[in-house]
């Protein structure tokens, strides 16, 4: 059976994404690797929500070792206005490498369901990594299903984040500003 390793950004974007790939006849597993989520306690709350979703929807979850926050900051420092490019690459690269190492036939990301992310950038980085690492990137535009995914998680009472993840996005959200 075909398989896909899904980089999961949060439980709420993952729910519909898992169902979608199941419906395509492709066995989905999830990878948790999000060193872009700050502070660490926020990262742990989101991971806990993900663990809970895994049990409720019955799919395998791989949790990457460690918390590479320092790597994240080394990559984005000096490029704060276009930090998402470096953030996506860091997380998708780990997913593609893990997928290859563990014998999956492809990789993708739950970020493709979010209307808040730079969709074309994600697609471009996914395709670049597919070529670089030698594993298929499964692209799909699920943005119209964003609210369906939230409808799945609503009755589960999972922790719900208020900002994208990094300290920059937390500042932008609460101060209502845009870093440029
Ligand atoms: S805003 Fe979100 S996607 Fe962009 S760098 Fe921060 S955590 Fe990553």
**Could you tell me if the CB of 168 is within 6 A of ligand 1?**
yes
pLDDT of residue 1: 82
Ligand 1 centroid from CA 25, angstroms: 31
Q: Whose CA is nearest to atom 2 of ligand 1?
A: 164
End-to-end Cα, the chain, rounded Å: 45
pLDDT of residue 110: 98
Q: Is the Cα torsion angle 123, 127, 129, 130 positive or negative in sign?
A: positive
pLDDT digits (tens, 9 = 90+) for 111-130: 999 999 999 999 999 999 99
Percent with pLDDT over 90 in the chain: 99
CATH fold for the domain made of 3-175: Rossmann fold (3.40.50)
**Could you tell me if the CB of 36 is within 6 A of ligand 1?**
yes
The pair of structure tokens assigned to 86 is: 């470096």
Residue with tokens 């492709």: 26
Q: Which residues contact 151 (CB under 8 A, 6 or more apart)?
A: none
Specify the length of the chain in residues. Answer: 180
- How far apart are the C-alpha atoms of 110 and 173, rounded to whole Å? 21
Q: How many helices (H) and strands (E) does the chain have?
A: 7, 5
Global pTM?
0.97
Phi/psi of residue 120, each to 5°?
-65, -35
Residue-range domain boundaries for the chain: 3-175
pLDDT digits (tens, 9 = 90+) for 129-138: 999 999 999 9
Asked if 30 and 8 touch (Cβ cutoff 8 Å), the reply is yes
Asked if 72 and 36 touch (Cβ cutoff 8 Å), the reply is yes
Q: Give the nearest ligand 1 atom to 36 CA.
A: 7
């Amino acid at each position: 059976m075909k398989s896909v390793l899904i980089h999961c950004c949060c439980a709420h974007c993952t729910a519909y994404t898992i169902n979608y790939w199941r419906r395509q006849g492709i066995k989905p597993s999830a990878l948790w690797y999000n060193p872009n989520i700050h502070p660490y306690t926020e990262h742990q709350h989101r991971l806990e929500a993900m663990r809970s979703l895994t049990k409720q929807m019955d799919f395998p979850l791989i949790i990457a070792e460690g918390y590479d926050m320092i790597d994240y900051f080394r990559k984005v420092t000096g490029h704060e206005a276009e930090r998402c490019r470096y953030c996506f690459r860091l997380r998708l690269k780990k997913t593609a490498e893990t997928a290859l190492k563990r014998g999956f036939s492809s990789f993708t990301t739950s970020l493709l369901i979010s209307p808040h992310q730079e969709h074309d950038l994600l697609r471009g980085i996914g395709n670049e990594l597919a070529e670089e690492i030698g594993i298929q990137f499964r692209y799909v535009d699920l943005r119209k299903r964003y609210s369906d995914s939230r409808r799945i998680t609503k009755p589960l009472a999972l922790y719900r984040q208020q900002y994208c993840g990094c300290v920059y996005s937390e500042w932008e959200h609460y101060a209502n500003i845009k870093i440029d």
